[in-house]
């Protein structure tokens, strides 16, 4: 129906439109009633949340775009914002259609129809407050910050984060250990008392994350080079800090390299001495001693040097007299990397042995494929030929060519750079594999013991199905803490597909929320579909009146490097559609919290969830004054 024809609607046309909406309403109710029979036992206050979710799923099982266009032309709701109150939205549309046709609809009164709108919206607000506590002053959205290890002892940082707007401290149980976590919490409590502000604690379980094992180590080779200008001329010599302290030393910030050497040999050095040696490549090199102190001495070099354990240093006086010799020792071995290119073969082994780098011939052709380890037996049980596999957040992708109980043969299909370096302990994604892993690992069960005593919320990583949620709830029941908040992290294609069932099971908890873990989810679903997936998650969660956390790389450039890109600012503005936003750790995290606080405060006047709010516009005010 075009906009120019809606004013000429006949009674028959109105009757047809009313019939179609009534039919849609009946289908929504009937499908929801069928699904209600399989609902888990829920607390009484959560029944309406589950029913509204079922109504929404029934509504979205239909393509109602033609109907939406016709309703919009009549100035009525297009049903496009029905998430928190599905039946109320349909009933309001029917009520007004009947009035436009000159009749009255039987059933609910006008007050009953419109009061249902507030009930749905208020339920989401109440559930959000139950999970995160009351919102910050002048800001609806909550800000979650992942704690670095420094937060265990850096009181000033935690204090500033609270003052800047942090509502929730996230402790990642995949890192550090209970002693560190305890100190983080103690520091937070001290900052709360000093600021008069409260802050929730989310403890995020590591979950069944697929990670490569370590790579084999190679002898450490330290490259020490001067700073050169673009034309190749030396701008300054390389600075080497030599110290006699072997057990413990602080690296000098201005040094390009720090070496701990034999104290007796060191004691004979004088300003102006030369240190001569053959470096790791066999090149003759000379360092000049610029200054000697009791703590160490400064040497400088105008040529690039490669040194390793066993490199022999010999000191010489200014007049050329040779003095004593010493060997460099104590340089920690380095983990090797596996170089991969599109077309290469890569072996993934079920053993716990360290991975090995690929061997190339003199022309750069692959002789021996690289090998990495992934000691998770379920992977080799469940993976199938032709299924895709990704490494390191999707930087490297391939296809399973061969598989056995001990090994996978992968054909690399793409890399972000012409040659990528695959390191140990990197993440692995198998988006099309029906991988059945226990939701709670042995370590998770140990960490839950601590989290149940200290946290307000527990994050369940890699939530794939309702059974995972049920396992967490049952374990919390055993600990007597089923009243704790649960955050279900959606980061796999399987978890995304099972979201409705996951939410229905999660409603058993006293408080629950969903985190859109966009890092792994983007790899699993595909980066192109990521924006669509996060929208769908927010719609489904709003229908269940469950708060959402917008996570992964929010203001990442600002947090890590001190400046945000335009895309990151836009992303942060979009995040106001969620009930909470999570920032990762970084050197500039306090500034990032301040910027996010400002963005969320500004944007909440323009948007509430999907709905645009018509706050008075500054630009419109200027136009009005000018006219």
Q: Which residues contact 459 (CB under 8 A, 6 or more apart)?
A: 170, 202, 203, 204, 205, 487, 489, 515
The pLDDT value recorded for residue 3 is 43
Residues in the chain: 627
pLDDT in tens, 39-55: 778 888 899 999 999 99
pLDDT in tens, 288-307: 999 998 888 999 999 999 99
* Inside any domain, residue 464: yes
Separation CA 39–CA 610 (nearest Å)? 28
pLDDT in tens, 94-109: 988 988 888 888 766 6
527 and 448 inside one domain: yes
Q: Quick check: helix, strand or coil at residue 298?
A: strand
* Inside any domain, residue 289: yes
535 and 456 inside one domain: yes
* Inside any domain, residue 627: no
Half-sphere exposure of 15 (CA within 13 A, CB side): 3
Q: What is the mean pLDDT of the chain?
A: 90
201 and 304 inside one domain: no
* Inside any domain, residue 620: no
The pLDDT value recorded for residue 9 is 60
* Inside any domain, residue 304: yes
* Inside any domain, residue 137: no
The pLDDT value recorded for residue 490 is 96
pLDDT in tens, 501-521: 999 999 999 999 999 999 889
**Is residue 2's pLDDT more than 50?**
no
pLDDT in tens, 323-366: 999 999 988 888 889 999 999 999 999 998 898 988 877 777 77
Q: Which of 327, 361, 385 is the endpoint of a domain? A: 327
Task: For the beta carbon of residue 586, count every other beta carbon within 10 angstroms.
Answer: 20
14 and 107 inside one domain: yes
Q: Label residue 611 by pLDDT band (50, 70, 90).
A: confident
**Is residue 5's pLDDT more than 70?**
no
494-505 average pLDDT score: 95
Q: Label residue 247 by pLDDT band (50, 70, 90).
A: low
The pLDDT value recorded for residue 624 is 58
**Is residue 204's pLDDT more than 90?**
yes
Q: Which of 429, 450, 484 is the endpoint of a domain? A: 429
Separation CA 30–CA 589 (nearest Å)? 50
| Tally of structural domains, the chain | 4
* Inside any domain, residue 204: yes
486 and 554 inside one domain: yes
**Is residue 620's pLDDT more than 80?**
no
457 and 583 inside one domain: yes
User: What are the C-alpha distances in Å from 372 to residues 89, 422, 424?
Assistant: 55, 9, 8
466 and 575 inside one domain: yes
* Inside any domain, residue 83: yes
Q: Which domain holds residue 43?
A: 6-132
The pLDDT value recorded for residue 120 is 79
Half-sphere exposure of 466 (CA within 13 A, CB side): 13
421 and 441 inside one domain: no
340 and 418 inside one domain: yes
Task: For the beta carbon of residue 2, count every other beta carbon within 10 angstroms.
Answer: 7
593 and 454 inside one domain: yes
Which residues face 260 on adjacent strands? 243
Q: Label residue 6 by pLDDT band (50, 70, 90).
A: very low
174-180 average pLDDT score: 92
């Amino acid at each position: 129906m075009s906009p120019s024809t809606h004013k000429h609607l006949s009674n028959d046309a109105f009757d047809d439109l009313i019939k179609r909406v009534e039919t849609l309403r009946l289908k929504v109710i009937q499908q929801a009633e069928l699904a209600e029979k399989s609902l888990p036992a829920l607390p009484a206050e959560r029944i309406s949340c589950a029913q509204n979710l079922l109504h929404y799923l029934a509504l979205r099982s239909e393509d109602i775009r033609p109907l939406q266009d016709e309703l919009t032309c009549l100035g009525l709701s297009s049903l496009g914002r029905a998430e928190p109150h599905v039946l109320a939205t349909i009933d309001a549309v029917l009520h007004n259609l009947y009035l436009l046709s000159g009749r009255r609809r039987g059933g609910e009164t006008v007050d009953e129809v419109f009061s249902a709108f507030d009930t749905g919206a208020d339920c989401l607000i109440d559930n959000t407050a139950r999970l995160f506590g009351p919102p910050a002053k002048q800001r609806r959205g909550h800000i979650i910050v992942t704690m670095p290890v420094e937060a265990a002892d850096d009181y000033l940082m935690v204090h500033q984060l609270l003052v800047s707007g942090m509502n929730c401290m996230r402790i990642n149980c995949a890192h550090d250990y209970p002693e560190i976590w305890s100190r983080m919490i103690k520091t937070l409590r001290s900052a709360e008392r000093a600021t008069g502000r409260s802050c929730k604690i989310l403890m995020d379980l590591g979950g069944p994350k697929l990670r490569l094992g370590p790579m084999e180590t190679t002898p450490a080779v330290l490259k020490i080079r001067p700073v050169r200008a673009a034309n190749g001329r030396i701008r300054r010599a390389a600075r080497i800090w030599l110290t006699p302290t072997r057990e413990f030393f602080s690296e000098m910030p201005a040094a390009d390299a720090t070496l701990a050497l034999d104290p007796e040999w060191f004691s004979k050095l004088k300003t102006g001495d030369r240190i001569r040696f053959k470096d790791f490549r066999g090149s003759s090199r000379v360092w000049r001693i610029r200054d000697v102190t009791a703590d160490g001495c400064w040497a400088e070099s105008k040529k690039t040097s490669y040194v390793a354990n066993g490199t022999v240093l010999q000191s010489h006086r200014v007049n050329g007299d040779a003095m004593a010799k010493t060997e460099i020792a104590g340089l920690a071995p380095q983990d090797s990397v596996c170089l991969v290119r599109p077309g290469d073969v890569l072996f993934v082994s079920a053993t716990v042995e360290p991975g090995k780098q690929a061997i190339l011939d003199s022309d750069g052709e692959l002789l021996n494929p690289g090998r990495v380890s992934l000691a998770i037996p379920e992977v080799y049980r469940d993976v199938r030929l032709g299924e895709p596999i990704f490494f390191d957040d999707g930087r490297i992708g391939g296809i399973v060519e061969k598989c056995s109980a001990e090994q996978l043969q992968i054909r690399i299909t793409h890399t972000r750079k012409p040659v990528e370096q695959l390191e140990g302990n990197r993440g692995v994604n198998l988006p099309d594999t029906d991988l059945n892993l226990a939701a709670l690992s042995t370590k998770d069960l140990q960490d839950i013991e601590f989290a149940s005593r200290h946290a307000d919320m527990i994050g369940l990583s890699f939530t794939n199905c309702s059974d995972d949620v049920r396992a967490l709830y049952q374990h919390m029941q055993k600990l007597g803490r089923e009243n704790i908040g649960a955050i279900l992290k959606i980061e796999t294609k399987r978890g995304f597909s099972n979201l409705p069932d996951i939410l229905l099971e999660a409603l058993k908890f006293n408080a629950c929320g969903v985190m859109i873990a966009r890092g792994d989810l983007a790899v699993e679903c595909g980066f192109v579909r990521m924006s669509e997936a996060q929208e769908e998650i927010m719609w489904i969660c709003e229908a269940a009146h469950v708060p959402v956390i917008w996570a992964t790389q929010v203001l990442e450039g600002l947090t890590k490097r001190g400046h945000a890109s335009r895309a990151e600012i836009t992303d942060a503005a979009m995040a106001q559609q969620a009930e909470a936003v999570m920032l990762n750790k970084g050197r500039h995290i306090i500034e990032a919290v301040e910027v996010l606080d400002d963005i969320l405060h500004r944007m909440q006047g323009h948007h509430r969830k999907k709905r645009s709010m018509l706050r008075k516009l500054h630009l419109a005010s200027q136009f009005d004054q000018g006219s």
